[in-house]
Every structure is written in structure tokens, then in C-alpha cells.
Amino acid sequence: MPDYKLTYFDFDGGRAEPIRIAFHAAGIEFEDKRISFPEFGESRSNIRFHAVPVLEINGEQITQSNAIGRYIGKMAGLYPTDPLQALYCDEVTGALEDLTHYVVQTFGLQGEDLIAARKILVDTRLTTFLTGLEQLLERGGGEYFAGNQLTIADLKAFMQTRSLISGNLEHVPTDLIQELAPSLVDHEKRISAEPQVTAYYASRA
Ligand SMILES: N[C@@H](CCC(=O)N[C@@H](CS)C(=O)NCC(=O)O)C(=O)O
């Protein structure tokens, strides 16, 4: 078995969390290296694209959370084997990556600037992506995004919806998803109760 080391920030969410859950579901040992923001600043220039997560496989750096998620997801049974369902899965993870890119653009702002940027975010990108994701969930049959099974797409969506519902983003109403795309709220509840997800968090407790 290769030596796996996953480096990311020290919180239970974000781009690395679906990968951590997939590792656990696959029963694959890995080093869960959690770094502080200052530590990231110090090591940033040694990371290929100056961003995390990074997976090291026997010391070789691999970047891009979706690519890593697919790789571990395949070993965990969390990625569809059918090519069309795999495409559906990829469309969701790609869309979520785009949404994250827009959300991150509002980080670091303060006061009135933050309020204004978050209002634009809610009225434009969040509305577009949440309603689009709801359509993709319907396409997948309503319970999962692809293959009628839990996949890394569900895990990545769950990270984003859990964060929005819990009020992590200041000035974004916590009932926004309920208003715009209610089936994503049901999805968030369903995924939080999936055996692979509850087993992972039990292991963290
Ligand atoms: N497309 C990359 C994006 C990685 C990324 O932007 N990661 C953030 C943390 S979630 C980061 O390291 N930001 C620090 C920076 O860009 O300076 C991926 O999916 O892995």
C-alpha cells in the first residue's frame, strides 16, 4: 500500500473533507496532516500551485481536490463506474469548485464592503449555482447526484450546503437554500446520516 499524506487546514470541512471521508470509507490508512494558516504561509512556496489540499503519494505531490477525490473515491466505491454517471458526478464537483471560487472572492472583506459583496454573491452566483445543483440532483433521481449511490459529488455538495445552512458565511441567510433549492436541504440531511459519513465523524470524536 502506498504511503499517503494529505495536507490541509485544520477544520472539518472544505476541499479536503470529502477526501478524508473517502479515505476512511475505503479503509485506507493516511496521514491527516492539518496545518495552521501561518504554517501554510511558511510552506506555500513549496506546494506546486501554492494551495491545499495536497496529497503526497510516496512523497510525490498531487494537487487538485477533485482529481484527488476521484482517485480515492474510486477505491472507496464512491465514484460511479458507469461513464455517464461518472460524467454527472464530475459536473457536480466541477460546479462546486466554480462556486467555491466565487465564494472565496468575498473572503477578507470587512464592514460595508463585505455586506455588499455577500449581497451580490447571494443574488448572482449562489442563486445560479444552488438552483442549478438542485436540477442536477433531480437529474440524478432526487436522492444522490449520480449513479443512485453516495459519491464524492454528494460529499462535496454536503460540505458546501452544511456550511451555508450553519451560517458560516456572514450575511448569507441560513435559509437561503431552503428558499431557493429546498431539495438540497433534504440532501444535506440525508448525506449527514449516510453510514460512511457517520462512521467517519464517529472516528473523529
Ligand atoms: N483548484 C484547487 C484549489 C485549491 C485552493 O484554492 N485551496 C485553497 C484552500 S481551500 C488555498 O490553498 N488557498 C490559499 C491560497 O490560494 O493562497 C483545488 O481544488 O484543490
Amino acid, res. 154:
D
| Distance (Å, whole) CA 188 – CA 66 | 19
The DSSP symbol for 91 reads H
pLDDT at 1: 86
Tell me, what's the pLDDT at 150? 98
**Same fold across 4-77 and 83-194:** no
- Ranges of residues in the chain whose predicted pLDDT is under 50: none
At residue 77, the 3 state secondary structure works out as coil
Q: Is the minimum distance from the CB of 151 to ligand 1 under 6 angstroms?
A: no
Closest atom of ligand 1 relative to the 16 alpha carbon? 10
Task: For the chain, give every domain's residue range.
Answer: 4-77, 83-194
Check pocket membership of 51 for ligand 1, CB cut-off 6 A: yes
| Beta carbons within 10 angstroms of residue 17's beta carbon | 21
State the DSSP H helix or E strand holding residue 162, giving kind and residue range, or none if neither: helix 152-165
User: What CA–CA distance (Å, rounded) separates 127 from 122?
Assistant: 6
Look at the pTM and tell me if it is higher than 0.85. yes
Is residue 35 lining ligand 1, measured as CB closer than 6 Å?
no
* Omega before residue 18 within 30° of 0, cis: no
pLDDT in tens, 153-205: 999 999 999 999 999 999 999 999 999 999 999 999 999 999 999 999 999 99
Q: What's the CATH fold of domain 83-194?
A: Glutathione S-transferase Yfyf (Class Pi); Chain A, domain 2 (1.20.1050)
Give me the pLDDT at residue 56, please.
Answer: 98
Mutate to test the pocket of ligand 1, among 44, 65, 100, 101 (most ligand atoms within 8 A of CB): 65
66 and 58 in contact (C-beta within 8 Å)?
Answer: no
Does domain 4-77 fall into CATH 2.60.40.10? no
Q: How far is the CA of 129 from the centre of ligand 1 (A)?
A: 19
Helix axes 182-192, 152-165, angle to 10 degrees: 110
